[in-house]
Structure 1
Amino acid sequence: MLINHDIRCALDRVVHLVNSAPQIQGRERLGDVAALRGFVAQHKVSEVAGLDQGDVGAVQAIRARFTEVFTAPDDATAVSVLNAMIAEAGTTPRLTDHDGYAWHVHYFSPGASLAAHLAADCGMAVAFLVITGERERLRRCEAPTCRRAFVDLSRNRSRRYCDSRTCGNRLHVAAYRARRREAEGAGQPEQQEQQEQAERTARGPEPAEA
Structure 2
Amino acid sequence: MIFGHDTEAGLQAAVALVNSAGEPDALTTVQAVDAWYAEHRYTGRRDRDEVELEELRALRPVLRDLLTTDRDHAAELVNDMLAEAGALPQLVRHGDEDWHLHAIDADAPLARRVVVETAMAVVDVVRLDEMSRLSVCADESCQGVVLDLTRNRSRRFCTTACANRNAVAAYRARKSR
TM-score, shorter chain, exceeding 0.5: yes
For 1:67, the equivalent position in structure 2 comes to: 64
Instruction: Check whether the contact 2:3–2:124 (CA below 8 A) recurs between aligned residues.
Output: no
More helix by share: 1
Q: Would you say the 8 A contact 1:137–1:151 is kept in 2?
A: yes
Q: What TM-score do you get using the length of structure 2 for normalisation?
A: 0.88
**Structure 1: 5+ residue stretches without partners:** 183-210
Per-residue deviation, 1:128: 1.0
| Aligned 8 A contact 1:143 1:161 in 2 | yes
Distance 2:172 2:154 in 1: 24
Q: How many Å separate the matches in 1 of 2:176 and 2:33?
A: 47
Which of 75, 85, 95 pairs up with 2:91?
A: 95
Q: For each residue in 1:11-33, what CA deviation from the matched residue of structure 2 results, as whole angstroms up to 9, or x when unmatched?
A: 11011110011xx2x23322332
Counterpart position of 1:118 = 114
Aligned-partner Cα distance in 2 for 1:12–1:64: 16
- The separation in 1 between residues aligned to 2:161 and 2:20, in whole angstroms, is 18
1:141 aligns with 2:147: no
Q: Give the aligned partner of residue 165 of structure 2.
A: 170
RMSD: 1.9
Establish whether residue 11 from structure 1 lines up as the match of residue 11 from structure 2: yes
User: How far did residue 120 of structure 1 move?
Assistant: 0.9
Counting aligned pairs with the same residue, the percent is 36
User: Offset at 1:118?
Assistant: 0.6
Q: Which amino acid aligns with 2:17?
A: L
Aligned to 1:40: 37
Which has the higher relative contact order, 1 or 2, with Cα contacts under 8 A spaced 6 or more apart? 2
Unaligned runs of at least 5 residues, structure 2: none
In structure 2, give the amino acid aligned to 1:12: Q
- What is the CA–CA distance in structure 1 between the aligned matches of 2:17 and 2:151, rounded to whole Å? 24
CA deviations 1:19-60 (Å, max 9, x no partner) are 011xx2x23322332222222122121112323222122222
**Over alpha carbons, which structure has the higher Rg?**
1
2:61 corresponds to which letter in structure 1?
A: A
Shift of 1:9: 1.1
Other-structure match for 1:189: none
TM-score by length of 1: 0.76
Further displaced range: 11-20 or 170-179: 170-179
Q: CA shift at 1:3, angstroms? A: 1.4
Moved over 3 A (4+): none
